[in-house]
Amino acid sequence: MDPSSAAGAGSGVSTGWMEQEEVEDNASTGAPVEEDDAGDWGEEIGEAAAADDDYYYDDTTDSPGSISNDSILLSPESTSGHLGTLMREKKLILVLDLDHTLINSVKFRELSPMEEAIGFTKHTGDDPGRGLFRLVSNLRPQYPMLTKLRPFVREFLEQSSDMFEMHAYTLGSRDYAESVVKLLDPDGVYFGNRIVSKNESPRDGKSLEVVPVGSSASAANDAAAAMVVILDDTAWVWERDKRGVNLIEMERYLYFANSRRHYGLEGESLSERRADESSHGEGSALAAALGLLRRVHDCFFREAVCAGSFSDARVVIAQLRLVVLRGCTVAFVGVADEPNTGGHRTRRRAAQLGAKCVDVVGEAVTHVVAGTPGTLEAQWAVDHGKFLVGEEWINRAHFRWIKPPEGDFPAP
C-alpha cells in the first residue's frame, strides 16, 4: 500500500521539536496539543483517519479539454512589483512542505530495536553518502534528531529553482525549520529567508496568509494566489485556507520505522530493510513531482500575459488532473467510506482525475476498483473483460498524473 494513501491509525498526540504536521483531528475537534519533555522544537502530532483525508475541491465540473483561458486582471503590483518581476523571469511561487515531502526525521529515543541493531544509535553521526544527518537544536541541544534526506532532493531543489521562487513551510518550530532548511540549502540560494513555521501559522493548519511575497503582499492575495503551487504530503492542513486548489499532493516519505507506526502501517520500514526510494526513474517520487511542477509551469506561461491578464495556476492544476482518467467509467466495490468525510477518498480522487464514477456495474463500466476480494462485481469484471484493479491504481494516478498500467495494481 502506498503510505500516502493509508489512513493513520489514531496514534496518540506527542510534541517534539520535529515537524510531522498532520494534526490528530484537532482541526475538527479543537482538542489541545500536548507537549512532551522534548520541548517546543517542532511538532509531531498524531493523526486520525478522518483528518488524513483530502481537502475536497470539486474541480470535476470544468471541461477536461485544453487548459482554460480563465484569467485574472493584472494588478499594478503584478506588473511593477515583486510579482511582475517573477512574471518577467517566468517564475511561479512554490510552497514546499518539509517532513515526509523532502525529508524524514526521527528522535533518537524513538528508533526501533531493529534500527538500533543495524547501527542507528544515539551516537550516529552524519553520513552524507546515505543522506543521513544529525540535527541538534540551538535551543535544546539535549534532544538531537536523525534526519534522512529524500533521494533526489538536491536535484529537485536545483531544477525547481529555475521555475519557482521557493518557500519552505513546516508546522515544526522555527528552530527546526531553519535547521532543516540549512541542511537542504546551506548557501541559501533556494529559500533565502523564505521560511514559515508553526510559530507564524494558525493553530489549525497552514495558510498562505502568512507566506510573504515581496515586501508588502502575502501569497493569499488574488494576484499572488494565482501564481502559487503547493507541494505537500498532507492535503487537509490547507483546508482552513481552502487551498486544495493550489495543491499537488505528494507521496509520503516514511523512511524510519517510527513514521510507519505513526500512520498505522505494518511491515518493516525502509531503514530496517536497509533500502530507500529510487533517486531516478519511475521509483523516484520527487522526480515524478518535479515533472508535474514542470508541466504546471509550462502550461501557465503558455497561457500567460496576454491582453492584461495571466493564467491561474489553480485552473492549470485542475485541468491537467482532469485528463488523467478521462474516458474511464469506474465502479467501486468494497471500498469503505471514511468517517466524517462524506464518502471515500479514492472515489473523489478518481473524479478529480476525470473518471466517471458509478455505483453499479454495467456495460459502460471500464474499470472495477475492488477493496475486498471475492465480490460478485469483481467476478463480473473478469467475466466481461473489464479491468479489475485495487485502490492503489487510483492512488498512483492521483500522485503521478498518469494512467498506470492496470496489471501493476491487481485487486486483492
Question: Residue range 33-59: average pLDDT?
Answer: 39
31 touches 212 (CB < 8 A): no
Q: What is the pLDDT of residue 338?
A: 54
- pLDDT level of residue 233 (50, 70, 90 thresholds): very high
Question: Same domain for 311 and 199?
Answer: yes
d(CA 282, CA 288): 7
In a domain, 38, yes or no: no
Question: Same domain for 222 and 371?
Answer: no
Supply the CATH number for residue 329's domain.
Answer: 3.40.50.10190
Among candidate residues 382, 388, 379, the one with its CA nearest the CA of residue 331:
388
Half-sphere exposure of 218 (CA within 13 A, CB side): 10
Residue that is last in its domain, among 319, 347, 373:
319
Question: Same domain for 299 and 345?
Answer: no
Question: Same domain for 395 and 253?
Answer: no
- pLDDT level of residue 221 (50, 70, 90 thresholds): confident
Question: Same domain for 182 and 216?
Answer: yes
In a domain, 174, yes or no: yes
Model-level pTM? 0.83
For the stretch 290-309, pLDDT in tens is 999 999 999 999 865 443 45
Question: Same domain for 214 and 300?
Answer: yes
Question: Same domain for 257 and 178?
Answer: yes
Question: Same domain for 392 and 295?
Answer: no
Question: Same domain for 312 and 354?
Answer: no
d(CA 225, CA 218): 9
Q: What is the pLDDT of residue 359?
A: 87
Supply the CATH number for residue 136's domain.
Answer: 3.40.50.1000
Residue that is last in its domain, among 298, 319, 340:
319
Question: Same domain for 260 and 303?
Answer: yes
Residue that is last in its domain, among 301, 319, 337:
319
Domain assignment of residue 245, given as a range: 71-319
Question: Same domain for 306 and 340?
Answer: no
For the stretch 62-96, pLDDT in tens is 333 333 444 444 555 555 589 989 999 999 999 99
